[in-house]
Amino acid sequence: MSIGPEDSTKLVQHKKTATNLIITFKALLIQSYKITINIDCEKNDFSLTIKEIPDKPTSTSSASNIFYIYFNAECKNCLKTYCSSSDIEIDLLNSKMGSCELERDAVLVNIDDRNYLIFYRNDSSYDPPVKKMFIYDCKYEYDLMTPKIGTEIEIPITKFDYSDLDKVIQKIKTLLIFS
């Protein structure tokens, strides 16, 4: 999880319970504030608690009352999938929080001893919104799986049924041949 703008915010803590995500950060404006966001994931609801704190702010460069958070998640079991959210804006002045949207989603698949990254991008900040899907040929570099430069192939947005990996592999091969 990340928070910004970096020069005027400081993440204090974040924790996840069975149904809630609780994020606490300091907003450093002309005065300092401790802000706690409690997101109820089951009810799709949230609450904001804003408290003025006696700290002297270390930054006054942000004249805005708008802050943002975003999430990056990786599967702890397989380490072959990840997703990222779009920026979620927090308006302190009006105690409002923007919607959370999936911006990127990726799955690493091994086909015939080659690694491919299936990458989905959904970015509504563009006009018109960008919704694309790509496949990258990947390699291990410094113990990390990284896409090889120049191997990006845009494919039609496709649903994959990952419960049948052989079917996924055949679909990827077909998309690679015809893209």
pLDDT tens per residue, range 153-179: 888 888 888 788 788 888 888 887 877
Share of the chain above pLDDT 70, in %: 89
The CA R_g of the chain, rounded to the nearest whole Å, is 20
Residues 37-73 have pLDDT tens digits of: 888 888 878 888 888 776 655 544 445 677 888 888 8
Beta bridge partners of 34: 26, 51
CATH 3.10.450 corresponds to the domain 2-71 = yes
Nearest to 8 by CA among 52, 64, 51: 64
Alpha-carbon gap, residue 61 to 174, rounded angstroms? 52
Looking at the chain, the domain(s) classified CATH 3.10.450 span: 2-71
Q: Indicate the pTM of the whole model.
A: 0.61
Phi, psi of 146 (to 5 degrees): -125, 145
